[in-house]
Amino acid sequence: MFAFLSSQPVQTALIVGSCAALISALIGVFTVLRGNAFAGHALADVSSAGGAASFLWGISPLLGFLGMAWIAAFGMEFLGVRKARERDLATGIVLGAGLGLSALFLYLDVTTTSTTGAAVSVMFGSLFAISQGLIWPAILAVLAVFLLVGLFYRPLILTAVDPDLATLRGVSPRWMGLLQLLVLGLAVAVCALAIGAVLATALLIGPAGAAIRLSRRPAQAIFWAMLVALTAVWLGIWMAYESYYWFSGNAWPVSFFVVALIFLFYLLAMFGSSWHQKYQRRSIASLRRLQEP
Amino acid sequence: MFSSFMINTWIAGTAIALVAALVGYFVVIRHSAFAAHALPLGAFPGAAAANLLGVNPFVGLLVFVGMGVLLLRQLARIGRRDVGTGLLLVLFLGVGALFLSMTSEYAPEVFSLLFGEMLGVSDADLWPILGICALVSVVMITIFRPLLLDSSFPDLAALQGISAARMDLIFLSLLALVTASALPVVGAFLVFTLLVGPPAAAQSLSVHPLRSLLLAVIFAESCIWSAIALSYWTNWPIGFFVGMLGAGLFTLARSYRHWSQRERPVVQVSGL
């Protein structure tokens, strides 16, 4: 255990992973409540083009992910997502174009800069290979998101749950939508850095999806989501570290463990809460039967 | 460009674009874009597993995409459909990453599975692709009317005794078959653009089912043919051209409709 904690890559992985878990759990609850899981996933996928471009131009990968996520967010907003039934299509089209760009940048990475591992580390992440210089930007991103969400907590919740009511209360849906996309971009960038662009969706919607089933109160749901996300990330990092010994020298990728754990927790939350409901219903029914003469 | 090593790619591309447009038409009217994005990625570990075990990649693709369809229906039942779809997708991708990390040829393999490999169609691959495409077309023609009714007016379809659950299963299976045949050529990510881009563009130009279906086929064929040609000339990945052309077609069709509707403000009865 001490060998695990004193290793330098593990420390960086734990810090960046925790940042990703906290930020995504917070934003994920809003995303899932708004029914924006597909858009969140699309942003994450498109941000891979930014990650690939950052290898090409030698800039920080976090900036690459963030820039592309924001461009995609505004693209989706621009392509007319006012009608709910057309939102899926606009999202899909932006997603396709972004992935096409990503294909081109990754190809150019391989041919011009001879970084053959770019496709793997951009798409599926390499948490143990993150440079120490990215710790502070990741922490800053977390602080910025917590500050923004803290300031606009009530209008954000209201817009997510019931946009019409929010408009009646004088909340501008356009500004809230923009704010939501802004913080979603930040969350996606940190997650993409941690577990890879195409797997970032797991952190974004998995813990939140489970948490919303566990509690009806938004603040409680956010707490549950953070708990699930942090557990999955820490346990995943530890299992990936130990898997080097389990499989005699062939360590399994850390992103796989994180994603699998999140999926497991989601299933547990789903079945757990439905059993709980069934049990409650049965006890209420038996109480009624007792009261009847 | 039409030399012997390219012939298979042209034939496979044409067949794939045809069935992608047919199935994609229903992806658009059933609003299943997320499922159409998730299933190709669900098939991705199949190719990786087949590579690992040394079996025919088609077997792996079909097994995993079949598992994807079953799990997708189960997960949609127990929670929010979009969250379930997203989680299933990343789980399959994670498993794919795991399988690929076990092989020695990690990086190039990932790239060609995700973004397509133009020269990846051998003679042995061509026949399964053509077979699947023929099967999908035949099934599509047989169930066209009930599927169309179920997708556009579910209540009316239920009155006529068409089971919505069965239609959903058939539709997802067709989607899975198209996915498995298209994945080796255009890649897991860009199968989706081919499925959604041309039909969405076609439907913003015409509301008549058969006419927009025909338009979708024409768009899809021109999309894949120009992608193959451009990719041949520039040596850039085919996925880039498919993605960009799909998005370009959609944007053009949308702006054309927007513009022509502004010219003569007729109230459009959008039935489908």
Termini Cα distance of chain A:
62
Average pLDDT, integer, range B51-72: 83
Contact A101 B98 (CB under 8 A): no
Per the document, the length of chain A is: 293
Banded model confidence at residue A81, pLDDT cuts 50, 70, 90: low
Identify the weakest region by mean pLDDT among A89-98, A107-116, A130-139, A175-184: A107-116
Domain of residue A249, residue span: 10-291
Residue B139 in any domain: the answer is yes
Banded model confidence at residue A80, pLDDT cuts 50, 70, 90: low
Banded model confidence at residue B217, pLDDT cuts 50, 70, 90: very high
Contact B246 A96 (CB under 8 A): yes
Contact B243 A99 (CB under 8 A): yes
Token pair in block for residue B123: 């003679």
pLDDT at residue B221 is higher than 80: yes
Residue of A245 and A33 predicted with greater confidence: A33
Q: What pLDDT is stored for residue B272 in this prediction?
A: 44
Banded model confidence at residue A97, pLDDT cuts 50, 70, 90: confident
Q: Taking CB atoms and an 8 Å cutoff, what residues of chain B touch A250?
A: 102
* Percent of residues, chain A, with pLDDT higher than 70: 94
Would you report the helix, strand and coil content of chain A in percent, each value rounded to 5?
A: 85, 0, 15
* Percent of residues, chain B, with pLDDT higher than 90: 5
The sign of the torsion formed by the CA atoms of A9, A10, A16, A21 equals: positive
Q: What is the mean pLDDT of chain B?
A: 82
Identify the weakest region by mean pLDDT among A209-223, B84-98, B129-143, B178-192: B178-192
Q: What pLDDT is stored for residue B164 in this prediction?
A: 80
Q: Taking CB atoms and an 8 Å cutoff, what residues of chain B touch A206?
A: 83, 86-87, 90
Domain of residue B119, residue span: 4-263
Identify the weakest region by mean pLDDT among A30-34, A55-59, B122-126: B122-126
Q: Residue B28 and residue B151: Cα distance in Å, rounded?
A: 10
Average pLDDT, integer, range B105-124: 70
Contact A97 B187 (CB under 8 A): no
Most confidently predicted of A16-30, A168-182, B105-119: A16-30
Residue of A1 and A25 predicted with greater confidence: A25
Measured between CB atoms, which of B86, B250, B251 is closest to A37? B86
| CATH code at position B191 | 1.10.3470.10
Task: Identify the CA nearest to B181 among candidates B257, B120, B259.
Answer: B120
Q: What pLDDT is stored for residue A35 in this prediction?
A: 79
Q: What is the pLDDT of residues A98-119, one digit of tens each?
A: 888 888 888 887 777 666 667 7
Q: Residue B180 and residue B269: Cα distance in Å, rounded?
A: 37
Q: What is the pLDDT of residues B2-41, one digit of tens each?
A: 677 778 888 888 888 899 998 988 888 888 888 888 888 8
Interface confidence (ipTM) of the complex? 0.83
Q: Taking CB atoms and an 8 Å cutoff, what residues of chain B touch A104?
A: 236-237, 240
Residue B51 in any domain: the answer is yes
Identify the weakest region by mean pLDDT among A169-183, B11-25, B196-210: A169-183
Measured between CB atoms, which of B37, B80, B237 is closest to A92? B37
Banded model confidence at residue B138, pLDDT cuts 50, 70, 90: very high
The DSSP 8-state label assigned to residue A129 in this structure reads G
B125 within 8 A of B180, measured Cβ to Cβ: no
Distances (CA, A) of A78 to A73, A134, A222, B28, B232: 9, 31, 30, 20, 33
A86 touches chain B (CB under 8 A): no
DSSP class per residue in A26-64 = HHHHHHHHTT-HHHHHHHHHHHHHHHHHHHHHT--HHHH
Residue of A119 and B90 predicted with greater confidence: B90
Total domains in chain A come to 1
Identify the weakest region by mean pLDDT among A94-98, A133-137, B48-52: B48-52
Opening angle at CA A271, ends A267 and A273, nearest 5: 115
Supply the pTM of this predicted model: 0.84
Q: What pLDDT is stored for residue B128 in this prediction?
A: 83
Contact B102 A250 (CB under 8 A): yes
Measured between CB atoms, which of B31, B91, B114 is closest to A123? B114
Total domains in chain B come to 1
Task: Identify the CA nearest to B45 among candidates B99, B116, B115.
Answer: B99
Q: What pLDDT is stored for residue A2 in this prediction?
A: 65
Most confidently predicted of A44-48, B28-32, B46-50: A44-48
Residue recorded with tokens 């799909």 = B246
The whole-angstrom distance between A104's CA and the closest CA on chain B is 6
Banded model confidence at residue B259, pLDDT cuts 50, 70, 90: confident
Banded model confidence at residue B108, pLDDT cuts 50, 70, 90: low
Contact A259 B93 (CB under 8 A): yes
Banded model confidence at residue A1, pLDDT cuts 50, 70, 90: low
Contact A116 B107 (CB under 8 A): yes
Contact B115 A117 (CB under 8 A): no
pLDDT at residue A78 is higher than 80: no
Q: What pLDDT is stored for residue B271 in this prediction?
A: 45
Q: What is the mean pLDDT of chain A?
A: 83
| CATH code at position A152 | 1.10.3470.10
Task: Identify the CA nearest to A104 among candidates B179, B240, B81.
Answer: B240
Residue A170 in any domain: the answer is yes
* Percent of residues, chain A, with pLDDT higher than 90: 9
Residue from B90, B99, B101, B205 to probe the interface with A (highest A Cβ count within 10 Å) = B90
Contact A256 B94 (CB under 8 A): yes
